[in-house]
Amino acid sequence: MAHTSERVVILGGTSGIGLATADLLLDRGYEVVIAGRNQERLTQAFKTLDTKKADRPVTGKPVDATDGEQLAAFFAEVGGFDHLVVTVTRNGGVTSLADLEAAEVRKHSEGKLLAHLLSVQAALGTLRADGSVTLVGAVSSQLSSPGLVVLGAINSAVESASRTLAAELAPRRVNAVSPGVIETPWWDWIPEEARADALTGATSDTAVGRPGRPEEVAHAIAFLVENAYTTGVVLPVDGGARLNVQR
């Protein structure tokens, strides 16, 4: 049911958690602008979201969030808005230290940490003075599992940045969600025949005992967008993955 006239920009809104967030915020009456790099994904996302027949059509265009000039042109075209959600990421990145390659570390850092920071920086000229920013970290920031050295370090940095920015950009609010394993195209780097088992295996020892759905993370993002007294928070949405449940 529509209850707002506010505008939200979702960088990464063409897939997974970002697309689910666009879907939910449309239902809540927001004017939604989405972006990703790939025009085909963007067109497909428009088609998916247009079926909702929202009062105001979803708009957006391709932008690479690792490129400051593209971001500046994008936000200049978008104009004033109320809330920024950043869900961009590079897929994969699970590696042991022994197999780690410098070029891959750079690509993953740029694809997530740099993209998040440049996106927020570029948005500041047109984001409402008391609007909100929501970033996305990951449970890997808190886990000590082998193979998570790169992902964990990058997601820790994003979550830490969200708290620092909450202080630096106030009265704008800055928060992050920290998802566990969520069924989205992020996992497409795993061969299709092995993917379902991999996600089930990765979540069977969590309290909830299953992978999460993008809608469940979108619900938490919507809370952070809407709650005007919440800032500097990193909100886990992980089915209890951090609880170390003994069975």
HSE-up (13 A, CA, CB side) for residue 84: 31
Give the C-alpha separation, 233 to 242, whole Å: 16
Considering only the stretches 22-30, 52-60, 84-92, 96-104, report the one whose residues sit in contact with ligand NAP under the rule CB under 6 A: 84-92
Asked if 12 is part of the footprint of ligand NAP (rule: CB under 6 A), the reply reads yes
User: What is the smallest separation between the CB atom of 4 and ligand NAP, expressed in angstroms?
Assistant: 23
4 vs 183 by CB, closer to ligand NAP: 183
Q: Closer to ligand NAP by CB, 179 or 239: give it.
A: 179
Question: Segment contacting ligand NAP (CB under 6 A): 16-24, 47-55, 73-81, 222-230?
Answer: 16-24
Is residue 87 part of the contact set for ligand NAP (CB under 6 A)?
yes
Residue numbers 161-180 binding ligand NAP by CB under 6 A: 179
Interface residues for ligand NAP in 181-220 (CB under 6 A)?
181-182, 184-186
Q: Is 17 in the site for ligand NAP (CB under 6 A)?
A: yes
Q: How far is the CB of 171 from ligand NAP (least distance, A)?
A: 25
Q: Is 136 in the site for ligand NAP (CB under 6 A)?
A: yes
Residue 36 binds to ligand NAP (criterion: CB under 6 A): yes
Joined together, the tokens standing for residue 26 give 């449309």
Cis peptide before 191 (omega within 30 of 0): no
Q: What is the DSSP string of 168-220?
A: HSTTSEEEEEEE-SB-SGGGGGS-HHHHHHHHHHHHTTSSS-S-B-HHHHHHH
> Looking at beta carbons, which residue is closest to ligand NAP?
16
Residue 14 interacts with ligand NAP (CB under 6 A): yes or no: yes
CB-nearer residue toward ligand NAP: 4 or 48: 48
The rounded distance, in Å, linking the Cα atoms of 212 and 47 is: 24
Q: How far is CA 104 from CA 115, 151, 176, 190, in A?
A: 15, 11, 25, 17
Interaction of residue 127 with ligand NAP, rule CB under 6 A: no
- Spatial neighbors of 62 by CB under 8 A, at least 6 apart, are 35, 36, 37, 38, 39, 42
Residue 145 contacts ligand NAP per CB under 6 A? no
Q: Which residues of 213-245 are buried (b: 16+ CB within 10 A; e: fewer)?
A: ebebbbebbbbbbbeeeebebbbbbbbebbeee
Site for ligand NAP, rule CB under 6 A: 11-12, 14-18, 36-38, 41, 63-66, 87-89, 91, 111-112, 115, 136, 138, 179, 181-182, 184-186
